[in-house]
Amino acid sequence: RPRLQAADEEVANKIEEFIGKLKRLKEVPSPFTLIIDDPSGNSFVENPLAPQKDEALVVTHYKRTAQQDAMLGLAVTQAPSLRAAQRAASVLQFHTNCPECNAPASTNMKLVQIPHFKEVIIMATNCDACGHRTNEVKSGGAIEAQGTRITLRITDPSDMTRDVLKSETCSVEIPELDFELGMGALGGKFTTLEGLLKDIKELVERNPFNLGDSSAPGRAEKLREF
């Protein structure tokens, strides 16, 4: 099947090229744009100049569509237990298994106040056996009155240290790379811009179907899953 092989090779080359581009973004060889669109309004990009205006950052609020409302309604069905936990304690620890090596690990659940934004629940898992660390952000079921679209123009490597909160319901787009990550593909994360790019790279390495023009069907699938 020489033709099939050639097609596979082409896809593999395309993925490798894309991963290379993603890695180089960290050095900001040329300005690029990060767009986080979150119908729940629970995502955030740090303005290091706050409360002064940040010319590189544009945040717009929008009214959700009926479809987005329906999607969010289903996405928060797990919220009551989180709300209960939120009431119970500011730090909570429970036992889990490492998602990498399955060894017993512990997850710390804590409330974190994000400056100039709001309080979120962060679940951090550290595995002593293999060193795997994850953090996941839960919005605790609260949904803002409007959706948010955050556009950050990245012009300098110092932008990589900006805090980024991406909720479990947002999509992430980098138009310069023709890249769009569907809603919910990465889960909720509180990280830096550099950390987010690393997570995207790892996700693409694991699941190249998030790449480029093939992302549209993936997005539709995600919506169906909800």
100 lies in the site for Zn ion, by CB under 5 A: yes
Q: For residues 91 and 63, what is the distance between their CA atoms, to the nearest angstrom? A: 34
125 lies in the site for Zn ion, by CB under 5 A: no
Q: For residues 119 and 86, what is the distance between their CA atoms, to the nearest angstrom? A: 10
Nearer to Zn ion, 98 or 181 (CB): 98
Q: Closest distance between Zn ion and the C-beta of residue 12, in Å? A: 29
Nearer to Zn ion, 7 or 129 (CB): 129
Number of Cβ atoms within 10 Å of the Cβ of 135: 18
Q: Which of 98, 121, 193, 196 is close enough to bind Zn ion by CB under 5 A?
A: 98
Q: Closest distance between Zn ion and the C-beta of residue 160, in Å? A: 27
Nearer to Zn ion, 73 or 104 (CB): 104
Q: Which two tokens stand for residue 111?
A: 């409330």
Stretch that binds Zn ion, among 65-73, 128-136, 144-152, 186-194 (CB under 5 A): 128-136
Stretch that binds Zn ion, among 17-25, 51-59, 71-79, 124-132 (CB under 5 A): 124-132
101 lies in the site for Zn ion, by CB under 5 A: yes
Q: Which of 132, 153, 198, 222 is close enough to bind Zn ion by CB under 5 A?
A: 132
126 lies in the site for Zn ion, by CB under 5 A: no
Nearer to Zn ion, 103 or 220 (CB): 103
Q: Closest distance between Zn ion and the C-beta of residue 124, in Å? A: 14
Asked if residues 36 and 171 have their Cβ atoms less than 8 Å apart, the reply is yes
Q: Closest distance between Zn ion and the C-beta of residue 106, in Å? A: 12
Binding site for Zn ion (CB under 5 A): 98, 100-101, 103, 127, 129-130, 132
